[in-house]
Structure 1
Amino acid sequence: MPSFPARIVVEDLRKSYRVATRPPGSRAGLAAWLPSRRPWRTIAALRGVTFTIEPGTITGLIGPNGAGKSTVIKILSGILRPESGRVTVGGLVPWAQRLRHVGRIGVVFGQRSQLWWDLPVDDGFALLRDIYRVPPPLYRTRRTRLVETLRLADFLDQPVRQLSLGQRMRAELAAALLHAPPLLILDEPTIGLDAPSKLAIRAFIRDLNRQDGTTILLTTHDMHDIEALAERVIVIGDGRVLADSPFETLRATTLSGRRLIASFDGPPPTLALPEGVTRLPATGQTLALDFDPARIAAPDLIGLLTQAGGSAAPSPLADVTITRPSIEDVISRFYEHHAPGP
């Protein structure tokens, strides 16, 4: 099928929902059944979201529950129409030119299936071939490659409802890619999967981007997916873009500290801590320190440990480990700093 530059442009995107509410109490509950007396409130899901995604990149779209991620994904997929703002995907407006648009993208929703529940996987592939009007030579090539890469051969003849979650997600990925879309949108693709299945899907997504140049937009609550795959992270909160940068930049500006764990062949030395270093509780022959690398370099801190002494001769330094904050810690701290006000 013809390719296109899968460039995504989002400008000042806004979307609100009107939802019914029910005050407490039986009388108020009965009154809420009358449309003329039913109370409503408006929820602003998106408040001027703006970003651009270039072709051939992997971008992570993250945020807490209710931040607006799913609304963005549904608008980009052509499922929802925004109230205002400009959106183009490969030059098309998703909701206005939906038939052309959906034929040029692949979408995987981790909690929904595009395959037919009671049909064998291979029959579902054949139906999608006809829906997308995939030419037979391209279909045969794509199907063969996807079956081999995602290891689908053992369950192609099984109904989708009989598959394990990991098998179903691999089949869903193949189904979304049979028509060779230049853009793949993934919403929680590894939700509920065990570690080997997650690693396999991450490796497949990475290879798809490198070999085919497929543009990938990934939204997930599994921050290890983001760290392993995304070149860039867009953080959405309260319907706004809170950050848009490579993850390492986000880490450096949010939680740049390091942790040093030192083991000694005896009691740890007494140590006058310089500025930017905090001693943590530790036991036995271990010393744990948090430090700011912008204020003291790791080699200088290790040098202090090897030279420090106490009332007796210093114990030899046996081992040193330096770790960075986990991605979960970084994102949690970022959310704390950008929590919406009352």
Structure 2
Amino acid sequence: MPLNCGIVGLPNVGKSTIFSALTSAKAEAANYPFCTIDPNVGIVPLPDKRLDRLCEIFKPRRKVPAVVEFVDIAGLVRGASKGEGLGNQFLSHIREVGMIAHVVRCFDDPDIIHVAGKVDPADDIDVIHTELALADLDSIDRRLDKLNRQLKVQDPNLKKDTEKEIAVLQKVRPALQEGKPAFTVDLEPEEIEFARRSFLMTMKKELFVCNVDESGVHGNKYVDIVKEIAEKQGSEAVVICGKFEAELADIEDPAERAEFLAGIGLEAPGLASLAHAAYRLLGLRTFFTAGEDECRAWTILAGDKAPAAAGVIHTDFEKGFIKAEVYHYDDLIQYGSEAAVRAAGKMRQEGREYVVQDGDIMFFKFNV
């Protein structure tokens, strides 16, 4: 699965403004549909107070944060699954990302055109879900046609696997016909793996991004609607004022940024919440390496074992993995120094089967 997040939504909901604020790279933005045609890609540093604290303790020459990749995808419209509004091109971009950040307009402004002529978050979400579901339905029908042809000429030993996949797709198909996402279908773990072979967009995790104006940073009636929808589908919703975040991104002085945030009653930018939510929903976790030369946050998948974590640093570390010296960030904070952690017996040696925990600080021993 790709480890990136696609920013999607209807035209003029603020996707490009939010993307620009995230990356401090100004994506083209305009008050009309289809301004963004080619997907913009941005690598966004992940704010992490743990890494900041490690730098205070070790005073390294270099600090390297974890990152999240965001892709700004042009706005979808009703009929996109049939090619409306360059829909086929945009849908292909969504297929290539690991999860979806669904931006929903949650503000009133007569000067900014809404493609449907009115602000209605529930309807906007339904339009996107329906178009993705119909596009997935087309993918499933093509996949079923191929699988049914395979059954006629396939080795009998392979037919059972093909028949299982056909059964799963036929189970998912009715929901897609009704415009419902594939994730709403109750599937067993094995069935989910079969469904993923069709690269269904509506199987992807979805994070809702409520784009508000300055008066809505602490919520409004539109935000309440989106949060209710998110809760029903077991997802999350974050609230962001895209215009405000874009202005904040242009401020370099930390004190001035803090003053700007305090002016509307916020302790941290909304984009930090977005980056952390995307990182978490992608199933990503962080371990650290720390020393005088460098303090760095490394990204792994939840459940990765020590050799895989070593391989993130360098493939040779994984190939020649011997063991890992491990202690946790919380232990470092409790005891105050690496030497004190070691003296307290909290530093340990772990082998190939160790499942790396979020917040581990690691040193790898290897031989090549």
TM-score range, shorter chain: under 0.3
Whichever structure has more helix as a proportion of its residues is: 2
- Greater CA radius of gyration, 1 or 2? 1
Calculate the TM-score normalised by the size of structure 1: 0.27
